[in-house]
Structure 1
């Protein structure tokens, strides 16, 4: 079972890369499902075929689906939303304003991603290809299981016990709606669903993320940040796809500076993302849409290789021991000292890179040890214990 997630800055061609990869996997004999979790669906446009909220056959071995994220959220969030609406009504907020406040921004995309668990457990597919939302939204989706795990392990049990003690008292002295067991039960189901997805996507042999970039300075910079944040949460990038390179066949002098810039950026991509392999695709004379157009794109992208293979296996987190010093090593490609914060709280190492934070649960061998130093080393954060 393989899960391939494609993401990148908006407009770089991630949907095309995802659609072409899924078609290539199907042509190689894999039962393949390609799913769009991007709220601005364009997967159907890439194939030139109709797609809906349920898997639809595109070829003999390929199915496609554009998830209705809103419907998934209604199924999982309805009990929590109804309670929030009651709370807002008690506070004097009603109507459209209350409806909007009862939905956490981006939550619909999270529930769409959680559908991967159902697809993976169904046994119907050999390969699932996911056309994700642009990078910022994807990072929010992939980091949520870690954030939810922290909440569920520490605050959820306390909140539930406290609610059972306080609810009868509040019911006698105030009309404030108090969350019942159905709200806590719905919260727990959401958490379990997210944890299942986390387990799937955190397995480097089962799931890989592929970053799609264009040879542009800002696009590459965002991809580098994305690689850092994905590593922070333990997700593996097995390939970078450099799309829309100017072909060598273009000889018009007007393009000379563009070609030189593309060559410079491509060299930076190879150097910066090494040892992750970089696949290249030249700018086509026409838009690669439809089955044949996508097959040509995939042929240039993968050559004689197989699209579903694991092209790189990294080790986002490991423990090393040298001369009695134990070190926790976290892969943080492109991480910079100025945007890095560390803290220790009980059995956890708190790591913040830029706006993203993760509580890293320490292995048993490190929990009883003291942090004595930390440093960045060749794209890795090394934290020493003694």
Structure 2
């Protein structure tokens, strides 16, 4: 199954674009699941009485997911809670905390990719606005790193020795339920991460042409590339007709056309112009009028290749594509075998490829939307040649 993640700046028409894309795919004979996490039902007004065979919609209930997960965690930690005299929480008194919707969406994404909602050819996900969506897509890898640092899986091997270690240390050892919970979360997060990073997953960006849309799009493109997510298509939404005699509208048209020309030159995956209908799109006919194409058969994952220039100048160069990145807002720190890369409001901690772990950072530069980091072999670690 292919997965298409749809996002863009707030108010750009992401839900409409996701619905139009799903409708196109379903009409082409693809079994399509359209997934949304909006607290309000925004899909039904957009789709109207479509009732198209092959198109299924599902809205994630973040509050219900939060209650279920918290009560399950409470049950697993029951013995410890009873030991401290804790009073159990009831489902009726639980109110979802900030972040519950995002976690519920990640679980729904994993379940849908795993066939929990049935067999589908295409999964279209209506994500939150771009900054939140990028943070959301980066969350599984980040949480896995935190869990593994705080509760290393290899520590579980010593569970038979815990009573003795507790006596020697004079402090209680972590309970088995804690490690089991960590393993449960690691398995769940790994499954979500696998879906996000799969070659069959791509991102479709939606933006309204104009200065604000261009700035937001530039930031989103940088953040997606930082996390290795390829953009399958840019949807320029609400494009005004060019043949207008109204001076006020003509100024807006000129502004849009200037931005569109820049996007056509800079946007590698291509630009689809969705016309402004003069109203909010509602129903199958309006969605069809936007003429959004079905997603491409193959996604374009962002590769981070290592270039071998040892024979030429003695360096290995790691190429990290960061289109739209601002040189003044780039940060680079090495921590052991990891690299901390900051691009604007986004940050990623990534493990160094094995060949670069035996090198020292010799410099870095941003050239044509690509961060190039030079590594010099460390004589103390590099294999010696005779």
The question of a shared fold, defined as TM-score above 0.5 by the shorter chain, is answered with yes
Q: CA deviation at 1:167?
A: 11
Asked whether the equivalents of residues 3 and 127 of structure 1 are also in contact (C-alpha less than 8 Å), the reply is yes
Q: Secondary structure in 2 aligned to 1:359?
A: strand
* Offset of residue 266 of structure 1: 1.5
- Give the alignment partner of residue 131 of structure 1, picking from 122, 126, 140: 126
Query: Which stretch shows the higher mean deviation, 356-365 or 2-11?
Result: 356-365
CA contact (8 A) 1:77 1:186 kept: no
In structure 1, what is the Cα distance between the partners aligned to 2:121 and 2:253? 39
Is 1:34 the equivalent of 2:34?
A: yes
User: Out of 287, 290, 293, which is 2:286 matched to?
Assistant: 293
Name the residue aligned to 2:137: 142
How many angstroms does 1:354 deviate by? Answer: 2.6
Question: 1:277, 1:312 within 8 Å by CA — same for their partners in 2?
Answer: no
Q: Partner of 2:236 in structure 1? A: 242
| 2:20 counterpart residue number | 20
Contact 2:201 2:299 in 1 (8 A): no
Counterpart in 2 of 1:214?
A: 208
Partner of 2:111: 118
The answer to whether the Cα contact below 8 Å between 1:34 and 1:63 also exists between their aligned partners in 2 is: yes
CA distance in structure 1 between the aligned counterparts of 2:81 and 2:222, rounded to whole angstroms: 41
CA distance in 1, matches of 2:254, 2:163: 69
The equivalent residue for 2:217 is: 223
Within 5 Å, which residues of 2 pair with 1:318-337?
318-322=305-309, 323=312, 324-337=314-327
Give the Cα separation in 2 of the matches to 1:340 and 1:77: 38
Q: Is this contact kept in 2: 1:32–1:126, CA < 8 A? A: yes
Residue aligning to 2:64: 71
Matched, 1:309 2:290: no
Distance of 2:341 and 2:188 partners within structure 1: 25
- Give the superposition deviation at 1:247: 0.8
CA offsets, 1:141-196, max 9 Å, x none? 11112211321332222897799679978xx999xxx9743344334323322221
Name whichever of 126-135 and 116-125 sits farther off.
Answer: 116-125
Tell me the equivalent position of 1:106.
Answer: 99
Decide whether the 8 Å contact of 2:144 with 2:189 is kept in 1. no
- 2:336 pairs with 1:346: yes
* Pairwise CA distance, 1:219: 2.3
Structure 1 distance, partners of 2:304, 2:71, is 37
What RMSD over aligned residues (CA atoms) do the two structures have, in Å? 3.3
Q: CA separation in 2, counterparts of 1:13 and 1:167? A: 58
When residues 220 and 179 of structure 1 are mapped into structure 2, their CA distance, relative to the original with a 3 A threshold, is farther
CA gap 1:173/1:336 in 2 versus in 1, 3 angstroms: closer
Preserved contact between residue 242 and residue 250 of structure 2 (Cα < 8 Å) = no
The CA distance in 2 between the partners of 1:21 and 1:380, in whole Å, is 31
Q: Which structure has the greater CA radius of gyration?
A: 2
Alignment correspondent of 2:188: 193
Q: Deviations over 1:226-255 (max 9, x none)?
A: 111111111111111110111124332331
Identify unmatched segments of 5+ residues in structure 1: 50-56
Gaps of 5+ in 2: 377-386
Is contact 2:326-2:344 (8 Å) kept? no
User: What residue in structure 2 maps to residue 52 of structure 1?
Assistant: none
Kindly tell me: are residues 243 and 110 of structure 1, through their superposed partners in 2, closer, same or farther at Cα, counting changes over 3 Å? same
Shift, 1:217, TM fit: 1.5
2: CA distance, partners of 1:212 / 1:5: 11
Whole-Å separation in 2 of the counterparts to 1:353 and 1:41: 34
The verdict on how the C-alpha distance between 1:78 and 1:181 changes in structure 2, with shifts beyond 3 A counting, is farther
Distance 1:310 1:253 in 2: 43
The 2-side partners of 1:290 and 1:380 are apart by 42
Tell whether the 8 Å contact from 1:72 to 1:112 is kept in structure 2 after alignment: no
Check whether the contact 1:319–1:328 (CA below 8 A) recurs between aligned residues: yes
Q: For the Cα contact (< 8 Å) 1:329–1:380, is it kept in 2?
A: yes
